[in-house]
Chains A and B, each alone.
Chain A
Amino acid sequence: MTALVQTLVNGLLYGGILSIAAVGFSLIFGVMSVINLTHGIFVIGGAYGALMAWSVLGIDPLLSIPPLMLVAFALGWGCQRLVIQPAVERGNPVAALLVTFGFTLIAVNLLTVTFSSSVRSISPSYSFINLRVGDISIDLVRLVAFACGLALIAILGSFLRFSRWGRVIRATALSELGARLCGVDARAVYALTFAVASAFAAASGVLIGMMLPFTPAEEVTWTVYAFIVVTLGGVGSLGGAMLGGLLLGLVSTLTQTYLGAVYTNMVMFLILLATLLVRPNGILGSAFKASR
């Protein structure tokens, strides 16, 4: 019984991280219909940013989140304007994807040259503190990351829901043509969306860097996980990313405990496939423009 509860707790905590790491991907996919392969590089970039802030300036990783988000916002904006928007305008669905792939190759190369490909990790003083609730053990750092993740998702949610720009982004996601007819500058919205998504990817990277060792090559993992989470939960909806992440976290730890850890990835990918075949819009998703 304890084992089951422990497994569920672990799964939810891990799932929270998967959720926050996927919201940016979901946003871009939903609004721009672009499969953004740079997502993972912004996540890992966030982790390296936090590592720099922590090891050079001595700033706690959690405090480095806001400035790093600003940096990622600016980088995302520039990247979208300079290389991705021109590709989107080509109209070919794969053009944008390829451009993001090319950008990722460059970024991985630069990260490797700058930081070497050694395994890095961020260990603030509280990384090894453990909480005990009855027989259940909870890593403080995972709990903190989970809470921060939820807070960030709430912030993004209220931005999309209540701010003027948020409404414009949602309108463009529903119908670019409709939004244009109402006088929306779609290109500006795309740039904003990409920048916001990049900022949140970087923030999630900081949280991940506190929990897991990382290398530049790790970016692939986070892009693929974002794929699964978003597809499972439903594209373009924050609730979808939340739900998808939590479910996936649960599936991951339950598989480890009851099936064998070696099958974890296989089961996660199978779920992705099954979702696509049975309910391609995801659990919470509604049909969006890329599927039409």
Chain B
Amino acid sequence: MAYRITRRGSIKAVSATIGIGALGASGRAAAQTQPAVIFGGTIPFSGRWAEIGQSVHAGYQTVVKYVNEVKGGIDIGGKRHRLELRLVDDASDPQRATTLLQKQIDDDVRFFLGSYSTPIILPQVALTERARKPMVQAGGGGDPIFTQGYKFVFGMYPRASRSAFPAVDAFEALSPKPQTVTVVYTNDPFSKPQGLGVIERLKEKGMQVVKVFELPAQLQDVSAVLTSVREDAPDIVMCLTSDQNSLLIARQMAQSRTDVKMLFTSLGPQAASFREALGKYAGGITCISTWSPTFPYTDPIFGSTAKFAEYYRANNTLPLIYHQGTAAACIVAYVNALQTVGRTDDPIAVRDALAKLDIESLYGRIKFTPQGDGDPVLMGSAVTQVQGGDIKVIAPERLREAAPQWPIEPWSKR
């Protein structure tokens, strides 16, 4: 009972501020008589991935709260069911994560949601696979999750090595076409394959990779890299980096007046705090938005992406970024599969339904590849650019909100 503590009054205020809204007592009481669909899993609430863990958790929580309190449960096989989360803290520690997940498998939890980061999710998938119970996750994009023949794991993203393709494709379409690109990635299980994938894609698309920088996983100082960028003066710098690292790079670029025609950071500008920290210097920075609350999709539970965003913001203070959206989509996918199957006691049938799933959701189209990751075209990210303090989709065409700003303004002219 992970939430008992958060229902205590004294802690409630704190938990609300960091976005762990507990299930409201009133909604719970009304729904108490309905049978529950229990989703298990672990969340990195402390340790290295704590920040993202909180967002992922808030995303799961939002769907559950909405279904139970606003919709009064969901219909599965003609009977109303409420949803229940049973998530515990894995402290970003894989050994702890597997041990705690085993407890839930023992307790006959049938459906699992993802933690965050490939080193945690991969060992967990080995357990759920053996127990023949599905896991739908939005936290592990590492290629090995999808290349070892596992049948019960589904991921909301295309695997890491394919995940930044949309950005390369968008740059190819710019006019005049960019010629030279410097690629920067950090040496971790997600960014590195992402970076190597980007390098291949750039070559395929006829752009020249001037230089490649492989950086340590946590950056303190990139002034030396920037000195070299100023010398090479590439058209585009593409950084496959976490938001903290991206902030550092963008900041040091602005400080040192390292001008390029386009700056891309895979993670960062999606968060308002990132844009606020950089102020006018955030303008023009491009990123891939796996998801954005402005996407014009319909959703079987919330009605639309916008309504999900509205409900989320009314109940949470933690800024709404793509982690909440992708996490929420995991449960939307489950609900759909459960309704197709019409019963909650058959995880294998639910797995089969998930594999065949093809729906539109608040996240966009959900259709998994036969290996279980997101389809690289259908579920590929949008490419967004900071314009006027907000992020605007510049590609693909069907989602476009604004024309790309190309080249971006030099730092000194701002």
Contacts and interface: CB of A to CB of B under 8 A. Distances in A.
Touch test A–B (CB under 8 Å): yes
B12 to A, nearest CB: 13
A60 B215 CA distance: 32
B256 A261 contact: no
A128 B273 contact: no
Contact of B51 (A109, A116, A212): A116
Given A109-B46, A119-B247, A262-B216, A3 B227 contact: yes
A127 B282 CA distance: 14
Contact of B277 (A121, A139, A140, A254): A121
B214 A213 contact: no
Given A3-B228, A119-B51, A128-B281, A14 B221 contact: yes
A121 B247 contact: yes
B3 to A, nearest CB: 16
B243 interface: yes
A118 interface: yes
Interface string B82-99: 000000000000000000
A26 interface: no
Interface in A240-266: 252-254, 256-257, 260-262, 264-265
B225 A118 contact: no
A119 B269 CA distance: 12
Contacts of A108: 46
Interface string B272-305: 0110011101000000000000000000000000
B315 interface: no
B213 interface: yes
B247 A262 contact: no
A57 interface: no
B116 to A, nearest CB: 12
Contacts of B187: 262
Contacts of B318: 116
Contacts of A14: 220-221, 223
Nearest to B247: A213
Given A6-B227, A10-B227, A217-B50, A119 B243 contact: yes
A3 B231 CA distance: 9
B257 A130 contact: yes
Contacts of A109: 46
B14 A113 contact: yes
Contacts of B231: 3
A226 to B, nearest CB: 13
Interface of A (DSSP majority class):
helix
A261 B51 contact: no
A120 B256 CA distance: 21
A252 B279 contact: no
A252 B46 contact: no
Given A116-B54, A212-B248, A215-B244, A127 B224 contact: no
A117 interface: yes
A123 B277 contact: yes
Interface string A124-153: 000111101000010111100000000000
B52 to A, nearest CB: 9
B266 to A, nearest CB: 15
B225 A256 contact: yes
A221 interface: yes
Contacts of B411: 128
B257 A117 contact: no
Interface in B230-283: 231, 243-244, 247-248, 251-252, 254-257, 271, 273-274, 277-279, 281
B21 to A, nearest CB: 14
A288 to B, nearest CB: 29
A7 interface: yes
Contact of A130 (B54, B227, B256): B256
B227 A118 contact: no
Contacts of A128: 251, 254-255, 279, 281, 411
B359 interface: no
Given A128-B255, A137-B257, A213-B277, A113 B224 contact: no
A158 interface: no
Interface of B: 14, 17-19, 46-48, 50-51, 53-54, 187, 213-216, 218, 220-225, 227-228, 231, 243-244, 247-248, 251-252, 254-257, 271, 273-274, 277-279, 281, 318, 411
Interface of A: 3, 6-7, 10, 14, 108-109, 112-114, 116-121, 123, 127-130, 132, 137, 139-142, 212-213, 215-217, 221, 252-254, 256-257, 260-262, 264-265
